[in-house]
Amino acid sequence: MSAINQYLDLYRQHAAVICRHAPAALNARREAAFRVLEALPRLPKVGDEGFEAVSLEDMFAPDYGINITRRQFDANPAELQGCDLPNAGTFAAMVVNDAFVADDKLAGRLPAGVEVMSLIHAAAKYPDAVAHSVAPEANPITALNSLLLQDGVYIRVARNVVVDKPIQILSTFNTSEPLLAARRIVVDMEPGAQATVLLCDHPRSRQADYLSCRVVEVRLAENAKLDFYDLEESTDRSRRASVFAAEQQAYSVLNTVGITLSTASTRNEFHVSHRGPGAETHLGGMVIAGGSEVVDNATFVEHSTPRCTSRQLFKYAMFDQSHGAFEGLVTVLPQAVFTDAQQTNRNLLASPTAKMNAMPQLIIDCDEVKASHGATTGQLDEAALFYMQQRGIPQAEARMMLINAFMDEVLQRINHEPVRERLRHLVDRRLRGCSAVCSNCSIDSLRKQ
């Protein structure tokens, strides 16, 4: 029996309860999501097209608990405020398990024209915005999220408003029981708006098995600009299936960097579509994996309008018996003349037992384009390592320096300097075998590589 069936059966039995705790805008999606899942023989597994490392069938198979009755969990926003980003300051909000935690102080701190609220409140204030989705509804992750979702986070930045501090969403698990959390974050950037959004995703303990089924939707209006950074620092009992979907209007700019520092198993998908000329997209990703960790990033960028640009750079450092994968697809439609698209994947195998699969792809149906893709997988430069040791640098330190230098190209894509420097510090700590999690919400130290 496929893992899908337990969620379809749960919905059949508890649809009334699930819908009672959610707004009409979310409930309206459930029937279509149910049909998508019902038509699937099973969830994708390793070996299926586009799935080289992570099996969604295996990820969703365990009998996780689901908080359909909206049980309240204790949460203290003050414990996580700022998430240890020195000199940066953030407008921080929390998601505990699957629920947005309201903080009255946050609303008073936000600049005029910036709103951060639950999807339930957003559905009452902006019903059309919440009802409209840019996520691929036929996608199994999106469909599972739509079927089970009861709340989420809504961020709105008004026309021409420039937000000077990052808007930070801190997602955590704090239950001692196994739990699947359906999470959705919606970001609406009105014309000319500019903002930075930082997601920090990690549980606070190793007490139970957790699964985050997450969808992020981003809508950029004309001339809007968004820097979006996603940090995952999890445990060997936590799994994540995530879809990031963005729709860009004319001359908008999206810069996103996803960083996975530890997990049990993670599947991240990035779906970006251009809906106006001159849109610009930068997708960056970094993975540091050890033990038996599995991390899979898949990108889907559609160029459908003229003179748009996309740049992709994903780097992996794989230790021990870890397994990584990158599947990238850039599609250029006939009308997307003067497209400029680049896709790059570079991987470092720091162990003879680590594995990496790379599948960069281009589908170009237009002659007047400039496009390239490439992937490389290798080991540390032994000559450089020898050179550094000859100058008195211990071998372990030399290895860490070379890996840090290899990863730094991705970190350079983070435009907010305090965030960039803090993440650089966390990456260094992770490579040295320490917990990279923010100190205000620490978990046990990771075993050394």
Q: How far is CA 318 from CA 185, 294, 340, in A?
A: 29, 10, 30
* Residue 402 counted as domain residue: no
Asked whether the beta carbons of 433 and 403 are under 8 A apart, the reply is: no
**Angle at the Cα of 186 (from 414 to 194), degrees rounded to 5?**
45
**pLDDT for position 206:** 77
**pLDDT for position 101:** 87
**pLDDT for position 403:** 84
| Rounded distance between C-alpha atoms, residue 120 and residue 138, angstroms | 24
* Residue 108 counted as domain residue: yes
Is this structure's pTM higher than 0.85?
yes
Under DSSP, the state recorded for 367 is S
The one-digit pLDDT tens for each residue of the chain (449 residues) are 689 999 999 999 999 999 999 999 999 999 999 999 999 999 999 999 999 999 999 999 998 999 888 877 766 555 554 455 444 578 888 898 998 987 778 888 899 999 999 999 999 999 999 999 999 999 999 999 999 999 999 999 999 999 999 999 999 998 888 999 999 999 999 999 999 999 998 887 777 899 999 999 999 999 999 999 999 998 889 999 999 999 999 999 999 999 999 999 999 999 999 999 999 999 999 999 999 999 999 999 999 999 999 999 999 999 999 999 999 999 999 999 999 999 999 999 988 999 999 999 999 999 889 999 888 888 777 777 666 777 777 777 777 788 888 899 999 999 988 888 888 888 888 887 765 455 444 333 333 33
Asked whether the beta carbons of 373 and 343 are under 8 A apart, the reply is: yes
Asked whether the beta carbons of 43 and 239 are under 8 A apart, the reply is: no
| Rounded distance between C-alpha atoms, residue 103 and residue 223, angstroms | 31
* Residue 434 counted as domain residue: no
| Rounded distance between C-alpha atoms, residue 143 and residue 139, angstroms | 6
276-297: b or e for each residue (b if 16 or more CB lie within 10 Å)?
bebbbbbbbbbbbbbeebbbbb
* Residue 192 counted as domain residue: yes
* Residue 314 counted as domain residue: yes
Asked whether the beta carbons of 293 and 267 are under 8 A apart, the reply is: no
Residue whose token pair is 């409930």: 27
Residue 82: HSE in the Cβ half-sphere, 13 Å Cα cutoff: 11
Q: What number of helices (H) and strands (E) belong to the chain?
A: 12, 20
Q: How many domains does the chain have?
A: 1
Domain that holds residue 260: 3-379
Phi, psi of 423 (to 5 degrees): -70, -35
E strand spans, 225-354: 225-233, 238-248, 253-262, 265-274, 280-289, 294-303, 309-318, 323-332, 339-349
**pLDDT for position 386:** 67
Tokens of residue 50, six digits: 């586009």
Segment (H or E) for 371: strand 369-378
Nearest to 151 by CA among 92, 229, 215, 234: 215
Tokens of residue 85, six digits: 């980003």
Segment (H or E) for 196: strand 194-201
Residue 126: HSE in the Cβ half-sphere, 13 Å Cα cutoff: 18
**pLDDT for position 163:** 96
* Residue 389 counted as domain residue: no
**pLDDT for position 445:** 32
* Residue 84 counted as domain residue: yes
* Residue 140 counted as domain residue: yes
| Rounded distance between C-alpha atoms, residue 400 and residue 398, angstroms | 5
- 115 three-state secondary structure: strand
How many Cβ atoms sit within 10 Å of the Cβ of residue 134? 18
**pLDDT for position 405:** 85
